[in-house]
């Protein structure tokens, strides 16, 4: 495995699948007796950047009503 000039490496697919690592998954590097290990972080996976806003809208309109406002009525 080769390290890029930015210090990045590609985690092989078999390793990602075995550890359950997908895009945006947090990982940790653990050092034990001079050896390093990669581990999926125990921290909860990040939710999308808009997930914290989900459910706070105050508009009481259906999806169809909202879409009709964005379309030209001919």
What is the tens place of the pLDDT at every residue in 7-62?
999 999 998 899 888 888 888 899 999 999 988 887 665 567 777 777 787 888 88
Mean pLDDT on 66-71:
86
Q: What is the pLDDT of residue 8?
A: 92
| Alpha-carbon gap, residue 39 to 21, rounded angstroms | 9
Q: How far is CA 12 from CA 7, 9, 35, 59, in A?
A: 16, 9, 19, 46
Instruction: Please report which helix (H) or strand (E) contains residue 15, including its range.
Output: helix 13-19
Burial of 40 (0-12, 13-18, 19+ CB in 10 A): middle
Indicate whether this model's pTM tops 0.75. no
Q: What is the pLDDT of residue 51?
A: 75
């Amino acid at each position: 495995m080769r390290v890029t000039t930015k210090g990045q490496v590609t985690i092989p697919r078999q390793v990602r699948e075995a550890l359950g690592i997908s895009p945006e998954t947090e990982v940790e590097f653990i050092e034990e007796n001079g050896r390093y290990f990669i581990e999926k972080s125990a921290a909860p996976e990040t939710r999308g950047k808009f997930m914290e806003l989900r459910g706070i809208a105050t508009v009481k309109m259906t999806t169809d009503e909202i879409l009709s406002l964005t379309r030209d009525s001919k």
